Amino acid sequence: MPKLRTTFVCRECGSEHGRWLGRCPGCGAWDALEEQTPAPGLGPAKAQTTIVEAIKGSLPRPRDEATTDGARPVSEIGDESEHGRITTGIGELDRVLGGGLVPASSVLIGGDPGIGKSTLLLQAACSMHTTDGPVDVLYVSSEESASQVAGRARRIGGNTERLYVLAETNLHRIAKEVQRLRPSVFVIDSIQMVFREDVAGAPGSVGQLRRCAADAVALAKSVGAAAMLVGHVTKDGALAGPRLLEHLVDAVLSFEGDRYHAARLVRTAKNRFGTALELGVLEMTPEGLREAPHGAGCISAQSLDDPRPGSIACPIMAGTRCVTVEIQALTATGFPGSVKRKCAGLDSNRLAIVLAVLEQHARLRLADRDVFASVAGGLRVPDPASDLALGLAVAGAQLGRTLGPRTGACGEIGLGG
Ligand code: TYD
Ligand code: MG
């Protein structure tokens, strides 16, 4: 029997090393190397078979048959993304996906635990359809039992007629069910809990995650179904193994928000079939997720009706959608010479410029004041159109004054003031 060699694989970039290191030489990430021992009794060749090869037999040839027949002129190659998109029934999600799911493509959705990923996908699974009508959806839950999922689907009031639920963590059995049912879409919630028996490591380890995700993508291609994979985020807020999985899938979405507020955001990190700038805004309600109306956003009604000094509503464009955010500022006595200038969700260079303009052109003395600014709700606003709201928030905080109720501000501030 050949000697089993232990390797160390980086959780972030997937590079392999012969010994443990505190910092990955490949990507520079700290404490990211994970020990990986090959499963005993499995030669490398056997471990390399993909799930699709393993359950061959009834498999059809991949949709795009010509991939094996050599090069062809572009005019003869159809564009799969342009026809047959599957609408999820949630307008905000469809827009972020670039107009719906593309058959045989794969989408990874990441987010904090408890933020509502399962709710979003289950709700979408209940209303998926094409122009020809509703489609079959297989919802594979590797975390919850089938009755839990079914109960939730009924509670959110979805149409469960064409929804199939499978509680399973073994990828082989999941693949078999996908082949048997031939759904148009299958969801794996979550990919971190799925494992292959012939790959070493616990579910969620680098080796398992990489193989299972690659197999799920290959499975989607081979049966012509769209795959939606749920991924958890790490403590730092990054998708576990981001660089490991990002290149495997066609689109990466992140589902964000504050668990204690209703607003939820769906954002694209990557999309091969649409723009990566889109943002979807949803609200968590007791009846599931609801699409937020255009222009609504991450600002509470109270902040709009009864603004406090240092709080300004600011409409910004995110992709093709307008979102209203709350920009907050606070000024406090600082030590002359070492005042603090901190911002969250805003560009610190823009803050410096706005403060300089306020000093020079608005005669506001801020040289010995600490200034803190943030966007409430966790949204990042790199847009210079937020300058005016930021300036008014800082001035309001400094002078203890507010704008009138239900008033917003937007506009770029030039160096001339
Ligand atoms: P869930 O989808 O289970 O989160 P994730 O899969 O991302 O871990 O959602 C969990 C939270 O959503 C839960 O704390 C309760 C809330 N929720 C509602 O407020 N309304 C609802 O209709 C549902 C289904 C969940
Ligand atoms: Mg879940």
Tens digits of residue pLDDT in 42-101 = 444 444 566 666 655 444 444 444 455 688 888 887 776 666 899 999 999 999 998 899
114 CB near ligand 1 (under 6 Å): yes
Out of 284, 287, 289, give the residue to mutate to test ligand 1, the one with the largest number of ligand atoms within 8 Å of its CB.
284
286 CB near ligand 1 (under 6 Å): yes
Position 253 scores a pLDDT of 92
- Please tell me the number of the ligand nearest to residue 115's CA: 1
Distance 118 CA to ligand 1 centre (A): 7
222 CB near ligand 1 (under 6 Å): no
119 CB near ligand 1 (under 6 Å): yes
Q: Whose CA is nearest to atom 14 of ligand 1?
A: 114
- Please tell me the number of the ligand nearest to residue 189's CA: 2
* Residue 378 identity (one-letter amino acid): G
Position 15 scores a pLDDT of 81
288 CB near ligand 1 (under 6 Å): yes
Distance 53 CA to ligand 1 centre (A): 37
Q: Whose CA is nearest to atom 16 of ligand 1?
A: 116
156 CB near ligand 1 (under 6 Å): yes
Q: Whose CA is nearest to atom 1 of ligand 1?
A: 116
Distance 345 CA to ligand 1 centre (A): 25
Sign for the pseudo-dihedral over CA of 378, 383, 389, 392: positive
Distance 109 CA to ligand 2 centre (A): 11
Q: Whose CA is nearest to atom 10 of ligand 1?
A: 114
Q: Whose CA is nearest to atom 20 of ligand 1?
A: 286
Residues of the chain scoring pLDDT < 50: 41-47, 57-66
**Tokens of residue 191, six digits:** 């990919």
The half-sphere exposure of 352 on its side-chain side, counting CA atoms within 13 A, is 5
Q: How many residues does the chain have?
A: 417
Long-range contacts (CB closer than 8 Å, 24 or more residues apart) made by 79-87: 80/104, 81/105, 81/272, 81/273, 84/130, 85/130, 86/128, 86/129, 86/130, 86/135, 86/184, 86/185, 86/226, 87/128, 87/129, 87/130
317 DSSP β-pair partners: 322
Distance 231 CA to ligand 2 centre (A): 9
Distance 342 CA to ligand 1 centre (A): 33
Give the burial string for 66-75 (b: 16+ CB within 10 Å, else e). eeeeeeeeee
Position 30 scores a pLDDT of 87
Distance 288 CA to ligand 1 centre (A): 8
The half-sphere exposure of 228 on its side-chain side, counting CA atoms within 13 A, is 30
Q: Whose CA is nearest to atom 23 of ligand 1?
A: 288
**152 CA closest ligand 1 atom index:** 24
Task: Assign 3-class secondary structure to 10-36.
Answer: ECCCCCEECCCCCECCCCCCECCEEEE
**Tokens of residue 272, six digits:** 């091969």
Distance 375 CA to ligand 1 centre (A): 24
